[in-house]
Amino acid sequence: MSAALIRGAALALAVGVATATAATPEQALKLGAELTPVGAEAAGNAAGTLPRWEGGLTVPPPAFKGPGSRYVDPFAADRPLYVITAGNLEQYRHLLTPGQLALFAQYPKTYAMPVYPARRTAAFPEFIYAATRRNATAARLASNGESVAGARDGFPFPLPRSGAEVIWNHRLRYQGGDFARWNVQAPVTASGDYTLVRLREEVRFLLHRQGEHGSDDPNMFAYYLQRTMAPARVAGQVLLVHETIDQVAEMRRAWSYNPGQKRLRRAPAVGYDTPGVGADGLRTTDQTDSFNGALDRYTWKLVGKREVLLPVNAYRIHAPDVRYADILKPGHINQSLARYEVRRAWVVDATLAPGKAHVYGRRTFYVDEDSWQIHAVDVYDRRGQLWRVQDAHSIVAYDKPFPFQTLEVVYDLQARRYLAQAMSNQEAERQDVTFPPNYFSTANAMKVAAR
């Protein structure tokens, strides 16, 4: 274990990793003081490469044109402090994940990581901060870790004591209000060829509604409606999901519509390691948003906390003047458009549980302490070999505020291919939406499919 991980493990134990009870009132007093309101260390690091958190990015830059317009880069004048290549890799090895090292090994001539000044931009609304303080002493894992009790609105476990609690913070993190967005995906071949898959996605969150649950069913988390717009051979497909919290007690309810059959059918297998929509077999369903769904296939170990390089403040790669062809290159995305910064990340190791089935035998997650977003994942096959590597690039919606992922990449080291998803450069920016009652019903999904 590295020195950074040892220090992180010691910090985790100091806040009670070994126990299963909620934080004490004395521990919760650290939130908003030595810790940020959501539980990150407020102080910078000793090396000076990570600054103190000063409230995050909550003031839009002058060029921002208002709600619904494209999020412009508030750090456009920044230049890389250094660029990591295969030639200088050893100097920065302590900041890299096994997956990042594997990408350098596989593409030594082209893969690089530009590292920028760290800007701790993650921020959330005040009601999320207040709810997180309440949750710190009230929230607990339930149903053998498959649900959360005693939490409302905010992050359930700002002082995590287990790997499962860290992952629940990611799963239940605040992602703004109800919205519609474009999700453009590209399964890229080893030679760099691809066909764009354009998805229109609409989401209604049932949590984070300032004290009210948006459904009569307390196990419901969100509603999701996806329409495939292109290419023509799959256009017209519709996926409707009613996302549950405890997916062992009740798996997510899902329905799919195929234009050839003209019927909306129940789709009970939308989860775990079933192939993702439009992904050409390059990701599983539970890899969307870095990880989603039930936790029961794995045992979750909180390894500790360490400093790593994560792809954050990715405004440049989100810009509308960047074409998809500018991003999608043979082997890997155009890394010159990426932005990596030093971050402290919780490290969680998920190992396939005895008697459980999944194509992935082990997964290691790197969760940014400021946002609780999973930004990097090392994915191993059942033989213990590194198979896939995930990168999740994010920006902060500074007018709201909250962070969200703007590009997710899944690299398949064995196939020498990758999947890029959540792109929207040539589409409209994500839009806040107020959905009418019953919009996410099966009857309305049929109406949407018939358009």
Average pLDDT over residues 202-228: 88
pLDDT digits (tens, 9 = 90+) for 402-448: 999 999 999 999 999 999 999 999 999 999 999 999 999 999 999 99
Structural domains counted in the chain: 1
Confidence at residue 21, expressed as pLDDT on a 0 to 100 scale: 66
CA distances from 359 to 155, 377, 380, 384 (A): 30, 15, 9, 11
**2: pLDDT confidence band, cut at 50, 70 and 90?**
very low
**174: pLDDT confidence band, cut at 50, 70 and 90?**
very high
Residue 238 · residue 225 · CB < 8 Å: yes
pTM, two decimal places: 0.94
Confidence at residue 78, expressed as pLDDT on a 0 to 100 scale: 98
pLDDT at 212 over 80: no
Residue 134 belongs to a domain with what CATH number?
2.50.20.10
Burial class (CB in 10 A: 0-12, 13-18, 19+), 439: middle
pLDDT at 9 over 80: no
Q: What is the mean pLDDT of the chain?
A: 93
Type of residue found at 134: R
Please indicate whether residue 210 or residue 385 has the higher confidence score (pLDDT): 385
**240: pLDDT confidence band, cut at 50, 70 and 90?**
very high
Average pLDDT over residues 284-311: 97
Residue 58 · residue 401 · CB < 8 Å: yes
The range of the structural domain enclosing residue 211 comes to 3-450
